[in-house]
Amino acid sequence: MTARPLPEYLVRRYQGWRATTYAGNRPWYRRLAEEGQRPRAMIVACCDSRVHVASIFGADSGEFFIHRNIANLIPPFAPSGDHHGTSAAVEYAVRELRVAHLIVMGHSQCGGVKGCYDMCSGHAPELLEATSFVGRWMDILRPGYEALPPGGDAERVQALEKLSVKVSLDNLMTFPFVRAAVADERLTLHGLWNDIAEGTLEAWDETRAEFVAI
């Protein structure tokens, strides 16, 4: 048998949510369903279970259009006709929903970025194989690895986490509809990096060309 019943503890938590959060906000949920979503921003974050953008930004239902993939990467514009889940999400947010902000958020201790670092420095040959989905996905971050300054491993891995944000912002600007929306001042781009242990955020500062604590 393929699909199984939901674990009991999740059923109970869902029932609790429905009797409280949902019951107390039914009008809002109904209106969201009838009128459709109208999110103010798109957030691109990592799948990591420790990253919780909705909590950090006190988000309410309907507020953020959220795409989460490994290492919060956006590939360069490449309309090849293939399935491009991330590019589709960006296209939908910018062209259809016309979000005003597009925020890319990276984080500390990112397993995907660490894998990329190991792969590029020759310590994870399995990620080089053509059949490694994680390896091929992390190829997007290779230009980041190549731009790393010299230094110790820990330091360079953290620098690469921040570069995953910068590479994504740069790749976003290769999408004609993103470039146009930014030029028309219909969209602003933002880069963040979250330190999980310290609960801090740093933002990419274009003028100083570095990440700066908020």
Known binding positions for Zn(2+):
46, 48, 107, 110
Q: In 10 A of CB 20, how many CB atoms? A: 10
Q: Which is nearer to a second copy, 12 or 150 (CB)?
A: 12
How far, in Å, are 62, 90, 181 from residue 178 at the CA level?
22, 8, 5
For residue 73, give the nearest of 92, 45, 97 by alpha carbon: 45
Distance between CA atoms of 14 and 173, rounded to whole angstroms? 40
Q: Which is nearer to a second copy, 34 or 146 (CB)?
A: 34
Residue type, 117: Y
H-run or E-run covering 162: helix 153-172
The nearest distance, CB 150 to a second copy, in angstroms, is 25
The nearest distance, CB 101 to a second copy, in angstroms, is 6
The nearest distance, CB 184 to a second copy, in angstroms, is 9
Q: Which is nearer to a second copy, 9 or 146 (CB)?
A: 9
Residue type, 120: C
Residue type, 15: Q
Pairing of β 210-213 and β 200-205:
antiparallel
**Binding-site annotation, residues:** 46, 48, 107, 110
The nearest distance, CB 82 to a second copy, in angstroms, is 6
Q: Which is nearer to a second copy, 148 or 182 (CB)?
A: 182
Distance between CA atoms of 211 and 108, rounded to whole angstroms? 13
The nearest distance, CB 179 to a second copy, in angstroms, is 10
Q: In this structure, are residues 34 and 27 in contact, taking their beta carbons and an 8 Å threshold?
A: no
Q: Which is nearer to a second copy, 83 or 149 (CB)?
A: 83
